Amino acid sequence: MHFLDQAKIFVSSGAGGGGAVSFRREKYIQYGGPDGGNGGKGGDIIFEAVQGLNTLIDFRYTQHFKAPRGKGGMGRDRTGAGGDDLVIKVPVGTQVLADDEERSLIVDLTRVGERVKLLRGGDGGRGNASYKSSTNRAPRQHEPGWPGEEQWVWLRLKLLADVGLVGLPNAGKSTFINAITNAKAKVGAYPFTTLRPQLGVVGHKGREFVVADIPGLIEGAADGAGIGDRFLGHVERCRVLIHLVDAHGDDPVLAWQTVQTELAAYGEGLESKPQILALNKSDLLDDELMAAVTQDLKAAGAPDPYPLSGATGAGLEPILDQVLGYLPDSSSIEMPTETQDDDGETAAWSPI
């Protein structure tokens, strides 16, 4: 199943049922009179964040959602049945956006079980019994049901994780997340082996936290180069970023600066998030070269880097210890179920 983090859907609440025109005609009752009931209310459109989902792929094949309308009123002052609410289940971390130029945020569903009423169903129309008065003893007026509301909206998924991994392609992020979690990310000796976000759970010193690996960034990612920066939204909610730099690369300082530039270009506070800098593939360099790379990075303004080898596992403990310092005693983020495979293809409310 494909990973999909963006979808456009059409939602429509149900119209109200029409009021009835009816008169009592019963034996032994001298005066009848109007007894037409009101129509039922139409169903609402409700979004609910549920556990166990981590993709919007279902919304590629089903894009129109319409709640049922209310039933019409009946004689004997019977009100029509209301239409059932239509509950649209989405992954935790889904944002509902308006279909305008700015794609303004309508609601952000960040907790399991959170429910939001987006569109209200139309009210039912009045039956002729409600029009009865001292001067209008046999009204034949009735009211049709009120229409529901409808609109196009965008759904955008931002995965929930405590820690986000960033870096250039082939910096060793997939190897790192495989070393500390059970994610089983694809690893290859070529750029862009990661084509979609990958989640994994880390257990360290009696604590658990969620790590998100996203495709690598390259220069110009903010302008669409490579895979672009569209997956950076999945680390917006992270408490801390681990920035992996290939210590064996041609220019580690330039690699660090490139990613910092793209984070700043993306915005959303990513450039100001706490970062842990790790020099990966340290097993390929001797102590003298590692010291030289470390000194160059610090001279360029980088924080003190941690030597790391995702392949051998050397240096993992200090980095994980550092991560724990940025997390609360118990993580408040719910872990979605295991991520799907294949590539990463895109595609006024009230709480209840």
Euclidean distance between CA atoms 278 and 156, whole angstroms: 30
**What is the distance between the alpha carbons of residues 106 and 76, in angstroms, rounded to a whole number?**
43
On whether 281 is known to bind a ligand per the annotation, the reply is yes
Separation between Cα atoms, residue 89 and residue 105, nearest integer Å:
18
Could you tell me which of 289, 51, 315 has the C-alpha nearest to residue 180? 315
| 343 in a known ligand binding site | no
Euclidean distance between CA atoms 250 and 246, whole angstroms: 9
> Is 309 one of the annotated binding-site residues?
yes
- Count how many Cα atoms sit within 13 Å of the Cα of residue 303 in the half-sphere of its side chain: 11
| Residues 6 or more apart in contact with residue 207 via CB below 8 angstroms | 324, 327, 331
| Residues 331, 207: Cα–Cα separation, whole Å | 9
Please tell me whether 292 is known to bind a ligand.
no
213 known member of a binding site? yes
Q: Does the annotation list 328 as a binding residue?
A: no
In this structure, how many other beta carbons lie within 10 angstroms of the beta carbon of residue 120? 21
Q: Check whether 282 is labelled as a binding-site residue.
A: yes
- Residue 136 annotated as binding site: no
Residues ≥6 apart with Cβ < 8 Å to 249: 168, 171, 255
Region of 222 (left: φ > 0; alpha: ψ -120 to 50; beta: rest) is alpha
Is 65 annotated as belonging to a binding site? no
Query: Does 350 appear as a known binding residue?
Result: no
Q: Give residues with Cβ within 8 angstroms of 329, minimum separation 6.
A: none
User: Is 311 marked as binding a ligand?
Assistant: yes
24 is in an annotated binding site: no
Check the annotation: does 170 bind a ligand: yes
d(CA 272, CA 289): 30
Do residues 42 and 69 touch, judged by C-beta distance below 8 A? yes
Q: Is 172 annotated as a binding residue?
A: yes
Grouping H, G, I as helix, E, B as strand and the rest as coil, residue 120 is coil
Residue 117 is assigned to a ligand binding site: no
Does the annotation list 329 as a binding residue?
Answer: no
Output the known binding site for GTP: 167-174, 192-196, 213-216, 280-283, 309-311
Output the known binding site: 167-174, 192-196, 213-216, 280-283, 309-311
Output the known binding site for Mg(2+): 174, 194
